[in-house]
Amino acid sequence: MTVAKLKGARERVRRKAGKCEGRKSYAERDPSMVALAKAIKGQCGRVSLRKIAEELEAKGYVTPSGGRYSASAVASMLA
């Protein structure tokens, strides 16, 4: 009975908000950072993911622990 109640609650949240489980994406947490990463990629054409991470760090966008974002994190921002 509890499982059915929780399932129904999750479905109601999904209908209302679209997402109710899982980790928030970079776009949900900080849309301005994702927009900046896409702008850097658009301005420079072929630029490495590490270079984009360096530019984000220079602009003050760092990981919660204070480090630079990895290339794979930048790739998921751009996806």
Per-residue confidence (pLDDT) for residue 76, from 0 to 100: 95
Predicted confidence band of residue 72 (pLDDT cuts 50, 70, 90): very high
pLDDT at 19: 87
Please tell me the number of Cα atoms within 13 Å of 1 on its side-chain side: 0
pLDDT tens digits for range 50-64: 999 999 999 999 999
Which own/partner pairs from 58-66 qualify as long-range (CB within 8 Å, at least 24 positions apart)?
61/30, 61/33, 61/36
Domain residue ranges in the chain: 25-79
- Res 54: pLDDT: 96
